Amino acid sequence: MTAHAAGASRSLFSVAGLTTRYGAIDAVRAVDLEVGQGEIVAVLGPNGAGKSTILHSIMGLVRPAAGTIVFDGRDITALDTEGTVRLGVGLVPERRRLFKNLSVRDNLRLGAAARRGRGDKAADEQLLFELFPILRERMDQLAGFLSGGEAQQLAIARAIMGAPRLLLLDEPSLGLAPILVEAVFNLIQGLRGRGYTILIVEQNAYQVLEFADRAYILRNGRIAMQGTAQELREEDSLFSAYLGLGGSQPACDTAGAPAPGR
């Protein structure tokens, strides 16, 4: 597998030789990946392939055993979680991890703590209400009372309030009904035109390949395949095998999907 960063205008973020262990087990082995400025890159793979471990290693939530992580020309391998976030790497964690006993407003306020003066806060708030109109109505409700779809919107909105230069999304479709999955993916697509750079980790491969630029297929902690989304879509059967899906599965057709946020 050769490094292949087609369409990457400028490398914003790269991981080289990343190995992370949990005890004696290598959760992730010698992973290389790259994300260019403005790209949407996906890491796809079955459950337990090590996808979340990659994100946790990037965020400093676990210490990698080997490898380097570079963000915007700076080695952040050993940087702690808070420092990484402050530099502009935002994570929408798996299962959202909202502050359920806090209001929607307070969740967003804490999200904004990461921005350290980056960007235009008022403009981001405006964008949020455009993308997530429902949140405006829920501002003073406790986050714990939101529905699954609203909660996922808040999780993404909270990360956006931190003005991330790189947004990491960990299984945003997890636990959502199919129609909400589509809405969430539409939202993520909606971010593309607004200068966000995104690294998304998903099990839901077919739908993500509809909008991602490039993807890496992860299996047993190693990168098994990589390419542009189009290449991978064309090699459908091959990557199905890697994903352990056992043959072809009807690709979800998102052509007639409703407009984002509506």
Partner 1 sequence: MENVAQQILNGLTLGATYALMALGLAIVFSIIGLVNFAHGELITISAYTMLAMRYLGLPWVVWALAGVLASVLGALVMERLAFRPVRHASPVTMMLTSFGVSVLVAAAFEIGISPRPRAIPQPGWITSSFSVAGLQLRAEHLLTFGVTAVALLGLLLLLRRSLIGAAMRAAAEDFDAVRLMGIKANAVIAYAFAISGLLAGLASVIIMSRRGVATPHMGLTLGLNAFVANVIGGMGNLWGAVAGGFILGFGEVALRAWLPASLSGLTQGFLFLMVAVFLLIWPHGLFGQKTAVRV
Contacting residues toward partner 1, per CB under 8 A: 59, 61, 80-82, 85-86, 91, 93, 97-102, 106, 109-111, 113-116, 158, 162
Residue 29 or residue 96: which is nearer to partner 1 going by CB? 96
CB of 90 to partner 1, least distance (A): 8
Residue 7 or residue 100: which is nearer to partner 1 going by CB? 100
Burial of 140 (0-12, 13-18, 19+ CB in 10 A): exposed
List Cβ neighbours of 76 (8 Å cut-off, separation of 6 or more). 58, 60, 69, 70, 83, 84, 87, 89
Distances (CA, A) of 153 to 17, 90, 173: 33, 15, 11
Residue 105 or residue 222: which is nearer to partner 1 going by CB? 105
Whether residue 242 contacts residue 218, with contact meaning beta carbons closer than 8 Å, is answered with no
CB of 209 to partner 1, least distance (A): 27
CB of 88 to partner 1, least distance (A): 9
Backbone dihedral region of 8: left (phi > 0), alpha (psi from -120 to 50 degrees) or beta? beta
Residue 99 or residue 129: which is nearer to partner 1 going by CB? 99
CB of 244 to partner 1, least distance (A): 30
CB of 154 to partner 1, least distance (A): 13
Give the separation between CA 171 and CA 96, rounded to whole angstroms.
9
Residue 83 or residue 133: which is nearer to partner 1 going by CB? 83
